[in-house]
Amino acid sequence: MDKKLIFSGIQPTGTFTLGNYIGAVRNWGPLQDEYNCIYCVVDLHAITVKQEPAKLRKNTLDAYALLMACGIDTEKSILFIQSHVKTHAELNWVLGCSTQFGELSRMTQFKDKSKRHADDVNSGLFTYPVLMAADILAYNADLVPVGVDQKQHLELARNIAQRFNQRYGELFTVPEPYIAEIGAKVMSLQDPTKKMSKSDDNPNACILILDDKDTVIRKFKRAVTDSEAEVCYREGKDGINNLMTIYSSVTGKSFDEITSEFAGKGYGDFKLAVGETVADHLAPIRSEFDRLIQDKAYLKKCYTEGAEKAQRYSQRIVSKAYHKVGFVDKA
Ligand code: TRP
């Protein structure tokens, strides 16, 4: 049987957080053997909020190189930059013409973002989920790895696909969410009831995957815990639970194993161990990233080939969509 097709996109926000890494990107590499994978740096989506052009360009290339450094193999998978492949914007228009104002108004991320960027509630921010649907449907992807914050958008993409199929005849695969077996949610080191986020005001709250060893260790040493002294996973111990989750996902050890490893030791020892383990885990990613980002010619070759493959793949499907809605065939 043919392998299923996975599609996912990631915003070019500069370097990823440990949360993006453990929760998402890290799982993308291993999926490449079991599935056909297409991954995309979504720079079109990025401009729905204000971006400094030079910074967006740098962040997009950084994100591309970082995905490679995290194990995405451009020989096995298609890895490309969204704005290089014109079918996304083309299909976006067609799908937008059957997506309802009311549906888009219900998207919680739009409500949040329009509050946060009240001076720039542009129409791209509103139709963001349509472009995301176009990303996915242009490839007839079967599975989409997404975090909880994107589930509503994926649900909408499914509705858009079904509606198109009903109105114009079968074309699009209705995509399913891919829930990783591993891939825990990583919380802020300073307020473990909140998700780890790059936009946190406190820089100690968030580990960036390009942080150097000393920085990683220092941030873990300052992590907020509780007033007990037992390393165990229990309700109410949000800080320790978060550190255990991180340590477990990097070492593969179970919570029980971690508890015995640190029995009789203090939180200081535990935090140091987590910091060192994470730093050692990230070190090869950082050095691979440094190597790739300096080799601009190689990067360019990879993203150019990626875009060509993505263009070819998606064009077949988007041309069919154009035909189905009644556009005159181009030759
Ligand atoms: N909206 C996603 C996010 O912010 C990124 C994204 C864009 C995406 N297009 C996609 C994710 C298609 C999965 C599939 O995380």
- Label residue 1 by pLDDT band (50, 70, 90): low
Residue 195 annotated as catalytic? yes
Which one of the listed residues 58, 198, 309, 324 is annotated catalytic?
Answer: 198
Residue 30 and residue 71: Cα distance in Å, rounded? 8
Torsion angle defined by CA atoms of residues 140, 84, 111 and 197, in that order, rounded to the nearest 10 degrees: 100
Q: Please, are residues 267 and 242 in contact by the beta-carbon 8 Å criterion?
A: no
Neighbours of 35 (CB within 10 A): 19
Residue 113 annotated as catalytic? yes
Residue 19 and residue 183: Cα distance in Å, rounded? 9
- Give the chain's domains with CATH numbers: 5-184+296-325 (3.40.50.620), 203-290 (1.10.240.10)
- Using only C-alpha atoms, the chain has a radius of gyration, in whole angstroms, of 21
Residue 76 annotated as catalytic? no
183 pLDDT more than 60: no
- Label residue 96 by pLDDT band (50, 70, 90): very high
Atom 4 of ligand 1 has which residue's CA nearest to it? 11
CA 156 to chain centroid, in Å, comes to: 18
Number of H helices, E strands in the chain: 14, 5
Ligand 1 center from residue 263 Cα (angstroms): 42
Tens digits of per-residue pLDDT, 33-90? Answer: 999 999 999 999 999 999 999 999 999 999 999 999 999 999 999 999 999 999 999 9
Residue 96 and residue 132: Cα distance in Å, rounded? 11
Collapsing DSSP to helix, strand or coil, 242 comes out as: helix
State the closest ligand 1 atom to the C-alpha of 10, by its place in the atom list counted from 1.
5
* Residue ranges lining ligand 1, Cβ < 6 Å: 7-9, 11, 42, 45, 132, 135-136, 144, 146, 150
Burial class (CB in 10 A: 0-12, 13-18, 19+), 84: middle
CA 209 to chain centroid, in Å, comes to: 14
pLDDT averaged over every residue in the chain:
95
State the closest ligand 1 atom to the C-alpha of 42, by its place in the atom list counted from 1.
7
Instruction: Give backbone dihedrals phi and psi of 3, rounded to 5 degrees, phi first.
Output: -70, 150
- Label residue 316 by pLDDT band (50, 70, 90): very high
Atom 8 of ligand 1 has which residue's CA nearest to it? 9
Residue 40 and residue 135: Cα distance in Å, rounded? 9
Which one of the listed residues 113, 219, 237, 271 is annotated catalytic?
Answer: 113
